[in-house]
Amino acid sequence: MRLTDSSVVIRPRTSWEAMDLGVLMAREHRFLLMASWALVSLPVFTLLTVLLWRHPSLAMFLFWWLKPAFERLPLYILSKALFGETPTLKQAVRHWPYLLKGQLFASLTWRRLSLSRSFVLPVSQLEGLAGQARQQRLGILLQRNAGAARWLTTIGVHLEISLWFGGMALFYLFIPEQVELDWDWQRLVLAGPNGLWLDHLSNAFYALVLVFWEPIYVACGFSLYLNRRTVLEAWDLELVFRRLRQRLSSVAPLLLLIVGLALVQLPPSAMADETISAKSLTPQAASQSIKALLEKPPFKNPETVTRYRFGEEKTPVKNKPHGDGKFPDWLQALLDNFNSDTFKHLAQGLEILLWSLMIGGLALVVWRYREWFHTFVSHSRRPRLKAVKPAPTQLFGLALGVETLPEDIASAAERLWPTQPREALGLLYRGLLSRLLHEFDLPLKSADTESQVLRHVHHLQQPQLLAFSDELTHHWQNLAYGHRLPSASTQQKLCSDWRALFSGGVNQ
């Protein structure tokens, strides 16, 4: 590493100045950094999407978890470009597999959630330190810039989320208004496996956000690392001395000639006196002289400190202040109680109480927000049913008892279509709800809406049943709230689909 070849000015900076320098470095090599990140991360994202098409949340989580493996490539490019050895895109991508050999498992496990990840990555990748040597090195580096590195990660998380939502909002704004009006968002969301493309589209926006942001994040952490080393190792002073040496190297022969002429002009007697005085100074005399100097200021400054000590052992104290220096009886008794076993037992009891309160508080929070934690479970999994409760006898004012329905619901509906279409459609819808309650054991409640019923049907993972339920619910809502009857062909299709699904009435 030759500091004189650095492409940036080496000088101590504040933490925020150093991160600003990282942004400038990322902007200088933006095309190489973004293209290399895209070439190594987007194929992995595509592979995860194909393999986990039915689990978009899991695919997104795995891609996010692998970010430390991708971050090694921008650091390699920036470290080379700092000293004028910028690699080409082909060279950088080819070198990426070799960068994964050092401590990758640790980066993806216990170090994955470290808020100082971008700041400490050069220690493992560029310095090649591991184990105790790495810990000692980090102990020195993190003394000053640890807070800035954590703030960088915190701000980066919020920026990623903002850009992610902003990208999706921008995509929505570019949709033509007529196309948007024709879309049925409820059908898109509840379309089963065919609707997973919305989740994967959202994941793709996040992958594109990382192409833009992650090189900047790595560059800011690398600049913080460089700034810390500049301060610790005085790189700026080293550069000054190197430049000074280069300037003096041209006049060094002239200086040697001047010194030689000055020595020639000295009288021989002076040189002889200096030689005699040097010979008269023996090693023993030099050692005694050195010891005498070390016993005097500023090398040695004796100082007497008087203080109180707790415990049974009492040591004599020199230079006591005025008074006997003893505690009052009540204070001495209190201090003795502090050192007794009773106080130790009390402290242990207090510690157990505090741990119990903390564990109980965590359990209370988990129980209080147990419904919120269900959002982290992929919607393709069937939710765990709660304790069996009595099925409701009515939904939307419709009786759902088995005894209230005819033997052959489809035939009864066909007889009612010409004269009583509302009752015919209501009979089909009542039959569907009764089937869902008594045969599929769906946890329907009296307060559920039509859309909530469809979500329960979606969890059954039966595409034909979901499609029929969706169509029947759509016509039921049009008739109940919009007073729009389905066409004759639709009426016949609903009865035919009923027979194809259930092969008879409720009681069969």
Residues 6+ apart with CB under 8 A from 482: none
Evaluate the omega torsion of the peptide bond into residue 298 and state whether it is cis, within 30 degrees of 0.
yes
pLDDT score, position 391: 58
Q: For 201-247, what is each residue's pLDDT tens digit? A: 889 999 999 999 999 999 999 999 988 888 887 766 665 666 666 66
pLDDT (mean) for 13-21: 90
pTM of the predicted model, to two decimals? 0.51
pLDDT at 266 over 60: no
154 vs 456, more confident: 154
Q: For 433-453, what is each residue's pLDDT tens digit? A: 888 877 787 777 776 777 888
> Which span out of 34-43, 381-390, 469-478 was modeled with the highest average pLDDT?
34-43
Q: For 149-185, what is each residue's pLDDT tens digit? A: 999 999 999 999 999 999 888 887 877 665 555 555 5
Residue 432: burial class (beta carbons within 10 Å; 0-12, 13-18, 19+): buried
Q: For 123-150, what is each residue's pLDDT tens digit? A: 989 888 888 888 888 888 888 788 899 9
In angstroms, what CA-CA distances link 241 with 121, 238, 247?
Answer: 30, 5, 10
459 vs 156, more confident: 156
- Nearest alpha carbon to residue 20 among 276, 285, 224, 304: 224
> Which span out of 232-241, 397-406, 468-477 was modeled with the highest average pLDDT?
468-477
Using the structure block, give the residue that is written with the tokens 């002073």. 237
Q: What is the CA radius of gyration of the chain?
A: 40
To 10 degrees, the CA torsion angle through 307, 308, 313, 315?
A: 30
Q: How distant is the alpha carbon of residue 331 from its chain centre?
A: 52
pLDDT score, position 20: 92
pLDDT score, position 397: 58
Give the bridge partners for 399, in sequence order. Answer: 394
Burial per residue of 58-72, b for 16 or more beta-carbon CB atoms within 10 angstroms, e otherwise: ebbbebeebbbbbbb
Task: Extract the tokens encoding 423.
Answer: 């009752």
306: left (phi over 0), alpha (psi -120 to 50) or beta: beta
Task: Extract the tokens encoding 201.
Answer: 């589209």
In angstroms, what CA-CA distances link 236 with 24, 70, 232, 239, 243?
Answer: 20, 32, 10, 5, 11
Q: For 111-122, what is each residue's pLDDT tens digit? A: 999 999 999 999
* Backbone phi and psi for residue 9, each to the nearest 5 degrees, phi listed first: -75, 120
pLDDT score, position 275: 54
pLDDT score, position 280: 57
Asked if residue 233 lies in contact with residue 11, where contact means CB atoms within 8 angstroms, the answer is no
Q: How many CB atoms lie within 10 A of CB 442?
A: 19
Q: Is the dihedral of CA 5, 6, 9, 13 positive or negative?
A: negative
Q: Which of 67-71, 205-209, 396-400, 403-407 has the lowest mean pLDDT?
A: 396-400
Asked if residue 173 lies in contact with residue 34, where contact means CB atoms within 8 angstroms, the answer is no
pLDDT score, position 467: 86
Q: What are the structural domain ranges in the chain?
A: 3-242, 394-502
pLDDT at 320 over 60: no
Using the structure block, give the residue that is written with the tokens 């279409």. 421
- Nearest alpha carbon to residue 119 among 225, 228, 199, 277: 225
Residues 6+ apart with CB under 8 A from 21: 8, 13, 223, 227
pLDDT at 325 over 80: no
Give the bridge partners for 395, in sequence order. Answer: 398
Q: For 48-93, what is each residue's pLDDT tens digit? A: 999 999 899 999 999 999 999 999 999 999 999 988 889 999 999 9
pLDDT score, position 173: 81
Which helix (H) or strand (E) segment holds residue 25: the answer is helix 15-28
Distance CA 48, CA 66 (A): 11
pLDDT score, position 421: 82
In angstroms, what CA-CA distances link 468 with 9, 409, 474, 483?
Answer: 69, 15, 10, 21
* Backbone phi and psi for residue 398, each to the nearest 5 degrees, phi listed first: -105, 130
Coarse DSSP helix, strand, coil percentages of the chain, rounded to the nearest 5 percent: 70, 0, 30
pLDDT score, position 96: 93
